[in-house]
Amino acid sequence: MIGVMGAQLADLKVKLFADGADRAGILRMYTNPLIRGFTTNPTLMRQAGVTDYEAFAKDILSAVPDRPLSLEVFADDFAEMEGQALKISHWGENVYTKIPVTNTRRESSLDLICRLVRQGVKLNVTALMTLHQVKEVGAALAGGPPAYVSMFAGRIADTGRDPVPIMAEAVAILRPYPNIELIWASPRELLNIFQADSVGCHIITATHDLLHKLALVGKDLEDYSLDTVKMFHRDAAQSGFAL
């Protein structure tokens, strides 16, 4: 079954990026050749207990010098956001600076994106959820340095919408722009990796917990059923239940 799993994963064209801010977890993921890049954000950093943004980022970059790493600005004012983006972008050749598609006042980041593109900054424009946003951001990034567009497919699914046709259309919108790669962000299950691959998405990010489930790909379902029964029995016995 390991051979089946390996074959299925090896056939994927979509690139797997690990999403997280746990240093030990990032270093473990770095040893896995299936993981082609890394992303993080202020929320993940806060959850991991990061208190010094720059020290954390530079430490990770020293440990991961040869795969893309996306680091997000945290200002809400566009002038301050630009200063942070320029500073972050100089920390490493493999850095992609994450810019949210709007600020908290719903003001578009397009002007800032255009300015940063003209300055040669590699961007990861994040938190997109509509095809209109994809069209606008794609046009702003067109012809510039390598860039990512992060479409939050998992959050789209949380609203009861099927993200697959939306992501397929996003792929089509960005197809004319060879410098841009589409990221399927915030997946909820491993199936999303294969869905992202099937629609031609370039990259999918996944949390470390989700990526740990890669060992289940191709697992025999009868065996998985038995494992589940054994788990229930073991936990009942350890709880000392009696009737």
Looking at CATH, the fold of the domain delimited by 2-218 is given as TIM Barrel (3.20.20)
Name the residue with higher pLDDT: 148 or 215.
148
Question: What Rg do the C-alpha atoms of the chain give, in angstroms?
Answer: 20
Please give the model's pTM, rounded to 2 decimal places.
Answer: 0.93
- Residue 3 is predicted with a pLDDT of 42
Q: Which uninterrupted H or E stretch holds 87?
A: helix 78-89
CA end-to-end distance (rounded Å), the chain: 39
CB 228 within 8 A of CB 222: no
- Residue 1 is predicted with a pLDDT of 36
CB 224 within 8 A of CB 1: no
For 56, what's the count of Cα atoms within 13 Å in the CB-facing half-sphere?
Answer: 22
CB 140 within 8 A of CB 114: yes
Q: pLDDT band for position 9 (50/70/90)?
A: confident
Residue 4 has pLDDT above 50, yes or no: no
Find the mean pLDDT for residues 144-154.
98
**b/e map of 166-195 (b: 16 or more CB within 10 Å)?**
bbeebbebbeebeebbbbbbbbeeeebbeb
Name the residue with higher pLDDT: 6 or 49.
49
d(CA 240, CA 27): 39
β-sheet bridge partners, residue 96: 70
Q: pLDDT band for position 10 (50/70/90)?
A: confident
- Residue 100 is predicted with a pLDDT of 98
Q: Which of 113, 110, 153 is nearest to 130 (CA)?
A: 153
Find the mean pLDDT for residues 140-156.
98
Residue 56 has pLDDT above 70, yes or no: yes
- Residue 97 is predicted with a pLDDT of 98
For 155, what's the count of Cα atoms within 13 Å in the CB-facing half-sphere?
Answer: 10
- Residue 5 is predicted with a pLDDT of 47
Residue 8 has pLDDT above 80, yes or no: no
Q: pLDDT band for position 113 (50/70/90)?
A: very high
CB 67 within 8 A of CB 55: no
